[in-house]
Amino acid sequence: MVKKIFYIIIIALLSLSSLKSQTTSGTEFWLTFGRVTSGNMPSNLDIQIRIATNNLPASVTIYFTHLDVSETFTIPAYEVFTYDILDTNQKNAVYNTTTGITDYSIYISSSEEVSVYTCIGAGSMRDATNVLPVTALGTEYYQISYTPYSCLDAYAVIATEDNTSVSYNGETPIMLDAGEVYYRASTTDMTGSFITANNPVAFFAVNQLTAIPSSFSSVWSSLMQQLAPVKTWDNTFFVPVTIVGQEFVRIVASQNNTEITTLSGGTVQFGVPGAQTDITNLQAGEWVELEISNTGCYIEADKPIGVCSYMRTFPPPTVLRSLPAQAWVPGIKQTVFNALIASFNVWYFSSMDHRALILTPTATKGSTMVSIGGAAPVPLYGGEWIENTTADISFYSMPMTHETESYIFSNPKGMIIFGYGVSLGAYNSYYYLAGSSMRDLTAAFFANGVGCEDMKDHLFCEHEITFTTIISNIAEVDSLKWYRKKISGTPDPNYILITEDDVEVEGDFPLEWTRRFSAGNYMIKLDVYHGGDPNPDPELSCEGELCIGVWIKTIPVTSAGGTVSPAVECYKVGSKIELRSLPH
């Protein structure tokens, strides 16, 4: 007997949301380069851009602002495209060497969401960075670099809009139009310098040559890392460790009177030029340097901080020979459930060990999966989990050997991923943030631990939701108001206030409150009132789509082979459930 197929449509159709998660992937990117290595001629440099696609092919355009020329490529799904900048004119059109204004930038646009990475250097002096999408950029940054060794520390700012003013430590602003670059270089370590703009800008830290630690002054390399804006900075961090087993960390305060309240697995370094040694009273722009242990470092602060991790100069006779390399470290609230990343190909040295460094909650580390080139997801392989009991976080270094295929990592409780490479022979290494969220934590909320931008992609099978509010970098927060609007079934025409009274801010953030919801889809919005203003701040309103599931139990069907066990599953409103009758 042919089995029949039936469907049940649950309650109502799903909504279509335009909310966009802010992550390290996107469709628009800006990129520039600064002076690196002991050689200064761009013609001698290797510059490479790597672009990884997800489940859809992407049409990608790379535009050179100074030359006013572009090239367009179609990249198949689940592949990594390599663009080597070989033409000397193109190299000269993206490479800044002295303080001032240029239009030496690259604009990358894509028809679909992609992840972008780049590396630059010559010989063994190289570093790599992810390139942040326009959606992740901001208007306030702090320089985080390292002590230059008889050369230059620098940063580069790219304007994404016309009439952008950029100021360094409160100096007279520099005016830029879209695509223009302000490059500033110094013979001293500029870590802690404060850069502000009136429009979102891309910010790159570039160090021509350094040794890490600075006392190890016989082997050097260059640094390059795109840094995240202050609006994304967090209070809680976990810094993993590469297979080198020993790294250094810099922590920069964004507000006066910042205290690092918990420091587990890190030792404050003394004698570092410009660094503070007291972690209980850091002023805005002040910073400390740590050496961290091989089980990672857990950091908590009472105000938002910025964190970078550095691969050190590692002398022989050890087999692994690393050079200085820098990676931005996002806070724990910047985890993602899925991350699209790419390995770098084997460049210059054939003995490079390329790896992904994944950190995730220890309780669900076994649920971390990876799909390579669109293949079925498999557990991580080629390494081992290292557990940090203080943070309840574990991390794993997995080899990345597929040069032309995208890696898509997933974990149901969230993760952050770095990429790095270490030489097994001659000195060489690189380090970069590979995949994380870049959500604005100035005013944000989480539903049962899921960020507001990510709620639309998450099915809540529990009906009781605890909302956690994060407010940072705002003085005198007076009150909060919460609203909901049902968008499934019979939708609400307008937002409805769901807090009977304003939620008064009487303690430190985060604040929490809990409410029960029936099955369906809702828009949830938070308004923030501060500074005595009777109106909410429109820049601080945030919203997200909440999907509450419904539990369905399918009744077992008797067949010649016996009975089928009952199945109870949670479904989104609007899901189509397939029911099959079995032959008798």
pLDDT digits (tens, 9 = 90+) for 464-487: 999 888 887 776 788 888 888 999
Residues 472 and 540 sit within 8 Å (Cβ to Cβ):
no
Distance in angstroms (rounded) separating the CA atoms of residues 39 and 530: 52
- For residue 6, pLDDT beyond 80: no
Distance of alpha carbon 530 from alpha carbon 412, whole angstroms:
35
In sequence order, which ranges of 78-231 are alpha helices (DSSP H)? 88-92
pLDDT grade, residue 10 (50/70/90)? very low
For the entire predicted model, the pTM comes to 0.89
pLDDT-derived band at 315, boundaries 50, 70, 90: low
Residue pair 330/433 in contact (Cβ under 8 Å)? The answer is yes
- Residue identified by tokens 């203080």 is 390
pLDDT band for position 4 (cuts 50, 70, 90):
very low
Helix/strand number for the chain, H first, E second = 1, 46
Nearest partner of 206 among 180, 187, 226, 176, judged by Cα: 226
Phi first, then psi, for residue 276 (nearest 5°) are -90, 160
Stretch 553-565: mean pLDDT:
59
pLDDT of residue 125: 72
d(CA 66, CA 2): 67
Mean pLDDT of the chain: 86
Residue 563: pLDDT over 70: no
Range with the poorest average pLDDT among 260-264, 430-434, 564-568? 564-568
pLDDT digits (tens, 9 = 90+) for 120-175: 877 667 789 999 999 999 999 999 999 998 789 999 999 999 999 999 999 999 99
Rg (CA), the chain: 25
Q: What is the mean pLDDT of residues 344-369?
A: 84
Dump pLDDT digits (tens) for 524-557.
998 888 888 888 888 888 889 999 998 887 665 5
State the pLDDT at residue 132. Answer: 97
Of residues 101, 100, 136, the one with CA closest to residue 116: 136
SS3 44: helix
Kindly indicate the confidence band of residue 211, based on its pLDDT and cuts at 50, 70 and 90.
Answer: confident
Rounded to the nearest 5°, which phi and psi values hold at 454? -95, -5
Answer yes or no: is pLDDT of 346 > 60.
no
| Contacts of 328 by beta carbon, 8 Å cutoff, 6+ apart | 144, 225, 226, 227, 228, 307, 308, 432, 433
pLDDT greater at residue 87 or residue 38: 87
Burial class (CB in 10 A: 0-12, 13-18, 19+), 43: exposed
Q: Please give the average per-residue pLDDT across 378-407, as a whole number.
A: 95
pLDDT at position 347 is 52
- What's the distance, Cα to Cα, between the start and end of the chain in Å? 8
Taking residues 473-502, what's their average pLDDT? 80
Of 425, 422, 464, residue with least CA distance to 447 = 464
The answer to whether 286 and 191 have CB atoms below 8 angstroms apart is no
Predicted pLDDT at 39 = 63
Of 65, 57, 55, nearest to 29 by C-alpha is: 65
Give the bridge partners for 562, in sequence order.
Answer: 559
CA distance 336 to 113: 15
Tokens of 423: 């030489």
Cα within 13 Å of Cα(191), Cβ side: 24
Q: How confident is the model at residue 38 (pLDDT cuts 50, 70, 90)?
A: low
pLDDT at 559: 56
Q: What is the largest CA-CA distance in the chain?
A: 84
CA 19 – CA 379 distance, rounded (Å): 30
Residue tagged 């320089």 (tokens)? 143
pLDDT in tens, 411-425: 999 999 999 988 776
Cα angle 451, 456, 462 (rounded to 5 degrees) comes to: 80
Q: In the prediction, which pLDDT does 452 show?
A: 87
Phi, psi of 520 (to 5 degrees): 145, -175
Strand 542-548 versus strand 459-460 pairing type: parallel
pLDDT at 425: 64
Contacts of 317 (CB under 8 A, 6+ apart): none
Q: What pLDDT score does 3 carry? A: 35
Could you tell me which of 458, 331, 326 has the C-alpha nearest to residue 393?
331
Q: Are the C-beta atoms of residues 289 and 274 closer than 8 Å to each other?
A: no
Strand partners of residue 159: 201
* pLDDT recorded at residue 350: 55
Tell me the pLDDT band of 499, cut-offs 50, 70 and 90: low
* Contact (CB, 8 A) for 315 and 357: no
Name the one residue in this structure whose structure tokens are 């769901």: 498
Each residue's pLDDT tens digit, 58-67:
999 999 999 9
